[in-house]
């Protein structure tokens, strides 16, 4: 029973973290679903965002400026991956791995060659923090400073901006680039440029999410983005499995990704709180679950005829 109580007590924290990672997952959605690119840059750019934000705060910048710059630095990492992919002709997945590897050194350099940088809530005015969550529960802070509330508002703003952007001429041409590159080029769309723009927006959001998590945890750490791509994919898949039948609208699909991330963290929290499993096995379990869910559409197409996965052509690749 005490285990269950501790799980319930941990739920607001899990939901807050899930919401923060949900913004990262929305970034992954842009590359994975819209551009049809599995971009592994995110494992590096997530930390880049956290490190940039922590270092800038320590240098006396205000939180808004620090997060805006974190977004831009993240977008720059996407630019590098896009350069490798489009200008140098390196396959997208390898381009992302190369950038990710290089970012490990850059992230350390950003943090002054240290593995982590403190971002203590005691010293700075932060947007979100585990401390604020505790304060709201104690009643010493107003509810609107609760991380769930703050990040939910941020998420809605992000979704609203993306919904608008992908409905514009440029945004629609980016969607066409991912849907069918041949068609896009035949309609005069510069597919290389669009892939770069998509990668920049995606990694900008990922870094922005990293900046939020660094605040929440009160530090940025060189390993904070490890496995981020898997968490992003898990959130996308969970959102898709649960909501694809009812959420047709693009904004709702993005919302489903965010909810997927929350569910992912609640499930992880449940495993940690309710079982005796060593939490070091969590990454293994995450990897296996994502592998399983990615296999299902393929199996459906291969072994069950007449489903929509069957005979799906891969035009434009």
Partner 1 sequence: MLEIRSINKTFNAGTVNAKHALKDLSLTLNDGDFVTVIGGNGAGKSTMLNAIAGVFPVDSGEILIDGMDVTHLPEYKRAQYIGRVFQDPMMGTAATMQIEENMALAARRGKPRTLRAGITKGERAGYKEALAELGLGLEDRMTSKVGLLSGGQRQALTLLMATLQRPKLLLLDEHTAALDPKTAQKVLEATDRIVSQNKLTTVMITHNMRDAIAHGNRLIMMYDGHVVVDVSGEEKKNLTVEQLLNLFSKASGSDEVSDKLVLS
Q: Which residues bind partner 1 (CB under 8 A)?
A: 165, 167-173, 175-176, 179-180, 182-191, 313, 315-316
Q: How far apart are alpha carbons 34 and 31 in whole angstroms?
A: 6
Tell the smallest beta-carbon distance from residue 285 to partner 1 (Å): 32
CA 50 centroid distance within chain: 13
Nearer to partner 1, 65 or 187 (CB): 187
Q: Among 214, 217, 197, which residue's Cα sits nearest to residue 52?
A: 214
Q: Which residues pair with 220 in a beta bridge?
A: 117
Whether 105 and 98 have beta carbons less than 8 Å apart is answered as no
Tell the smallest beta-carbon distance from residue 184 to partner 1 (Å): 7
Tell the smallest beta-carbon distance from residue 177 to partner 1 (Å): 9
Nearer to partner 1, 188 or 306 (CB): 188
Tell the smallest beta-carbon distance from residue 165 to partner 1 (Å): 8
* DSSP states of 257-297: HHHHHHHHHHHHHHHHHHS---GGGHHHHHHHHHHHHHHHH
Tell the smallest beta-carbon distance from residue 173 to partner 1 (Å): 5
Q: How far apart are alpha carbons 295 and 169 in whole angstroms?
A: 34
Query: Which residues, in sequence order, are CB contacts of 172 under 8 Å at separation 6+?
Result: 166
Q: What is the DSSP letter of 40?
A: T
Nearer to partner 1, 48 or 180 (CB): 180
Tell the smallest beta-carbon distance from residue 213 to partner 1 (Å): 30
Note the residue count of the chain.
317
Phi-psi bin for 173: left (phi > 0), alpha (psi -120 to 50), beta? alpha
Nearer to partner 1, 176 or 228 (CB): 176
Nearer to partner 1, 34 or 128 (CB): 34
Nearer to partner 1, 64 or 306 (CB): 306
């Amino acid at each position: 029973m005490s285990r269950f109580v501790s799980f319930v007590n941990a739920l607001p924290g899990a939901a807050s973290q899930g919401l923060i990672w949900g913004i990262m997952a929305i970034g992954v959605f842009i590359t994975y679903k819209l551009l049809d690119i599995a971009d592994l840059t995110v494992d590096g750019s997530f930390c880049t965002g956290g490190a940039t934000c922590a270092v800038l705060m320590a240098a006396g910048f205000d939180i808004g400026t620090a997060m805006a710059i974190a977004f831009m630095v993240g977008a720059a990492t996407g630019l590098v991956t896009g350069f490798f992919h489009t200008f140098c002709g390196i396959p997208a997945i390898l381009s992302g791995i190369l950038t990710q590897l290089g970012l490990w050194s850059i992230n350390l350099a950003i943090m002054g060659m240290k593995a982590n940088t403190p971002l203590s809530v005691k010293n700075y005015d932060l947007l979100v923090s585990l401390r604020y969550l505790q304060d709201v529960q104690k009643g010493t802070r107003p509810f609107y400073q609760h991380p769930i509330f703050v990040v939910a508002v941020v998420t809605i703003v992000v979704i609203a901006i993306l919904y608008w952007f992908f409905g514009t001429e440029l945004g629609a041409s980016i969607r066409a680039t991912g849907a069918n590159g041949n068609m896009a080029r035949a309609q005069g769309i510069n597919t290389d440029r669009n892939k770069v723009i998509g990668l920049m927006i995606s990694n900008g959001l990922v870094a922005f999410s990293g900046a939020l998590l660094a605040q929440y945890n009160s530090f940025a750490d060189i390993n904070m983005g490890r496995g981020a791509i898997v968490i992003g994919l898990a959130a996308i898949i969970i959102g898709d499995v649960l909501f694809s039948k009812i959420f047709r609208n693009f904004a709702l699909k993005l919302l489903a990704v965010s909810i997927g991330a929350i569910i992912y963290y609640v499930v992880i929290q449940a495993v940690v709180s309710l079982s005796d499993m060593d939490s070091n096995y969590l990454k293994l379990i995450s990897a296996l679950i994502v592998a399983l869910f990615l296999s299902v559409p393929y199996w459906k197409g291969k072994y069950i005829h007449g489903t929509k996965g069957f005979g799906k052509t891969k035009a434009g690749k």
